[in-house]
Amino acid sequence: MRLASLSEEKENSANSTDLKGDCRCSTQAHKYRLSSGYRRVDSTSSASDDREMGIESQAEVHKLIIVVLFLACAGISNWAALAYIHDFVGRQPLPDIVFSIIPEQSWALEIGDIVVTVCSVAMIAIMVLHKYRGVVTRRILFIIGILYCMRTISLLCTQLPSGYSHNDRKCRAPLPHFDLAVFVQRILEQTIKVGFQDPNEKMLCGDLLFSGHTLIMVISGLTVPYYLPRRLRLLGWIPKLLSWIGMICMIISRTHYTIDVVFAYWCTTGVFMLYHAYCEIDSYPERRQSLLKSLWLMKVVGWLEANVVPGRFENELSFPLLNRVERICFKARRESRSPSDAEIASTNNSATTVVIEPA
């Protein structure tokens, strides 16, 4: 009898353990479900649930600061390279297949700058309004920083002369020898203008391989569609179309050679796809076994993505200022409806008052 009771107790404990496991699995399945191949966050999950499963509700500030500093250094290195190579880059334009067909269109440069500005604003809007804005911002800024580092190396390795019809009219006169004061002044000038140059004034020449304008336009054309919610996916075509218009303007204005634009498109698309292909691997063991892990870049990406759930999360837009205003209004409305402390005290006193009449 004792043996039979012991076996029954073991079976009951095993069944209860299985039930607990099933409950845990169903809870996890409720919070995270796979839809159309993407790992999605349930809209009912809270911020604590997101942190528990690894999705960041807030940006890891130290990582974001490091990425911003990295991007700043990459940008300054670009402008420093341009300030250095300007004095010895050639002035005779190279042959280009588009240049031989279409004459120089100076007006197209202004349109290209406008397209770059619009694409940049659209990309910044996505980074600010996305529900996981910390993760998205860190990813995009890191990708841009890597591309600018690649661009600095290419500028220093091979210098291409500007493609304008009259480079002597467009380019500033080169200095006969290196001047540190002029060098620093050029860097500060480019930093203040964020890399833009006035086409109506003489410019620093040699800023060619590969195109920085195309870099920004293409990264915007990739970022906006990737992080837009599905119901707004048609809006993702706007930066794509604008980026193609901008690339055409860069070539026909002879701001860049055709090869500059082509290389910029290839490099930007490649780095963006590599980063997000690594992020979309659905488990950490698969990431460790992936061929992408052998790239040194993916080691840095692995550190940046350490607290983010593997896979592609659901894209949702969130308006921080509007949400804060709604919380303030809700709090004020709740306080106005709730009785004050004085009313509560008077109610308690009236309820506990006992009148004693003389006999």
What positions carry a catalytic annotation? 213, 256, 260
- The amino acid occupying position 132 is Y
| C-alpha–C-alpha distance, residues 83 and 184, integer Å | 8
Task: Using alpha carbons, list the distances in angstroms from residue 28 to 43, 52, 53, 136.
Answer: 13, 11, 9, 24
Closest CA to 187 of 207, 173, 212, 216: 207
| C-alpha–C-alpha distance, residues 212 and 120, integer Å | 12
| Chain mean position to CA 182 | 34
| Residue 150 near residue 267, CB atoms below 8 Å | yes
| C-alpha–C-alpha distance, residues 199 and 85, integer Å | 19
| C-alpha–C-alpha distance, residues 29 and 34, integer Å | 9
- Per the DSSP assignment, residues forming a β-bridge with 39 are 34
| Residue 119 near residue 239, CB atoms below 8 Å | yes
User: Which ranges of the chain would DSSP assign to H, the alpha helix?
Assistant: 2-31, 47-53, 61-85, 107-129, 133-157, 167-170, 180-192, 212-227, 237-252, 258-279, 284-289, 296-304, 320-337, 341-352
Cβ of 129: how many Cβ atoms within 10 Å? 16
Sign of the CA dihedral running 221, 66, 47, 325: negative
